[in-house]
């Protein structure tokens, strides 16, 4: 049997097959795939880049930070997982930067199979004191950048009959907390965007899903502890116990590896029928 290149055609060809879907296994599920992960010089994005690379995908990493440290990260990823890893340092705060990222990434790596919209920032303040510029910056990076990047890769994914768009939303895409107006609004928006993209991609082998982490121990959370302590006028230990993990029933931070493993599954062929979802990885927080 001639094997088609596209998942969409594969599914149509095997509709009457008696064999069960392939097991996930531990092999290089994503060998030959090309992935862009935004905001992957740190935290969750780096964890996702590592997991995708371990599964065999070539990766474009992106983000801000010390260029020498980023180059070390890039080389370590490529060496450890024996895949191609490129770095594109575009600032995604505006449409032009996002378009530059996709353009440079595809010029270096080829067409994008997997897009992970992960770059995000946070700012915590009571709404009456919330700086308008912080609102604009959070909406631009946490919401609009996901739209611009999706827009730039979508036609190609549809034409090739395969695509995976994974938006790193948050438990705050499903529920709110005080002092996080812009972040909560952006993350709820990302879930709406995810559903729309899923509907538009559904007949073209392109899925779109939002992962909704609860608290994951990363530099973003580390920074919040100080901000929350000031906003609530309580100690660092009290922020961790009574604010951050107060609503997380398992009383534990999720890990970047757990988020990465879910991204690998969604990116694999076995993720083909999962689309338009918002998947909590939050220790039960949003079950309340
Ligand atoms: P982080 O601060 O560790 O990493 C953020 C990444 O985004 C870094 O690589 C940074 O360089 C990059 N970045 C920041 N501004 C950028 C810009 N203008 N252009 C390009 N890249 C930029 O944060 P994290 O905790 O790993 O968060 C990653 C994502 O996960 C965010 O969207 C965040 O909202 C979401 N999230 C985090 C948690 C958590 O507990 N850490 C929980 C839920 C959701």
DSSP 189-210: HHHHHHHHHHHHHGGGTEEEEE
Cβ(83) to ligand 1 under 6 A? no
Cβ(215) to ligand 1 under 6 A? yes
Number of continuous H segments (helices) and E segments (strands) in the chain: 10, 7
Is position 183 annotated as part of the catalytic site? yes
Distance between CA atoms of residues 236 and 285, nearest Å: 21
Domain boundaries, the chain: 34-214+260-280, 218-252
pLDDT recorded at residue 23: 41
Cβ(149) to ligand 1 under 6 A? no
pLDDT recorded at residue 10: 47
Task: Ligand 1 pocket test: pick from 45, 47, 225, 263 the residue with the most ligand atoms within 8 Å of its Cβ.
Answer: 45
DSSP state of 216: B
pLDDT recorded at residue 13: 38
Atom of ligand 1 nearest to the CA of 213: 43
**Does 3.90.79.10 match the CATH number of domain 34-214+260-280?**
no
Distance between CA atoms of residues 90 and 118, nearest Å: 14
> What pTM value is reported for the model?
0.91
Question: Scanning the structure block, which residue is given the tokens 């575009």?
Answer: 90
Burial of 125 (0-12, 13-18, 19+ CB in 10 A): middle
The active-site residue out of 147, 154, 179, 183 is: 183
Weakly modelled stretches of the chain, pLDDT under 50: 1-5, 7, 9-25
**Span 136-160, pLDDT tens digits:** 999 999 999 999 999 999 999 999 9
């Amino acid at each position: 049997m001639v094997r088609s290149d596209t998942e969409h055609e594969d599914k149509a060809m095997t509709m009457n097959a008696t064999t069960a879907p392939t097991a996930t296994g531990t092999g290089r599920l994503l060998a030959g795939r090309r992935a862009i992960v935004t905001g992957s010089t740190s935290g969750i994005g780096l964890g996702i880049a590592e997991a995708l690379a371990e599964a065999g995908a070539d990766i474009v990493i992106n983000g801000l930070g010390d260029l020498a440290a980023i180059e070390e990260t890039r080389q370590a990823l490529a060496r450890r997982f024996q895949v191609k890893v490129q770095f594109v340092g575009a600032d995604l705060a505006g449409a032009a930067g996002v378009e530059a990222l996709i353009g440079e990434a595809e010029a270096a790596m080829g067409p994008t199979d997997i897009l992970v919209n992960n770059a995000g920032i946070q700012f915590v303040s009571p709404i009456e004191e919330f700086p308008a510029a912080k609102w604009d910056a959070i909406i631009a990076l946490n919401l609009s950048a996901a739209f611009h990047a999706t827009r730039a890769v979508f036609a190609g994914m549809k034409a090739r009959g395969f695509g995976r768009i994974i938006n790193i939303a948050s438990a705050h895409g499903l529920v709110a907390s005080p002092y996080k107006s812009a972040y909560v609004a952006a993350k709820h928006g990302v879930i709406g965007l995810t559903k729309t993209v899923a509907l538009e991609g559904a007949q073209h082998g392109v899925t779109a899903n939002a992962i909704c982490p609860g608290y994951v121990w990363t530099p973003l959370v580390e920074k919040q502890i100080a901000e929350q302590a000031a906003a609530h006028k309580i100690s660092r230990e009290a922020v961790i116990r009574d604010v951050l993990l107060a609503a997380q029933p398992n009383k534990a931070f999720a890990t970047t590896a757990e988020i990465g493993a879910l991204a690998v599954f969604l990116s694999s062929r076995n993720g083909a029928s999962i689309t338009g979802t918002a998947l909590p990885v939050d220790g039960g927080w949003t079950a309340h």
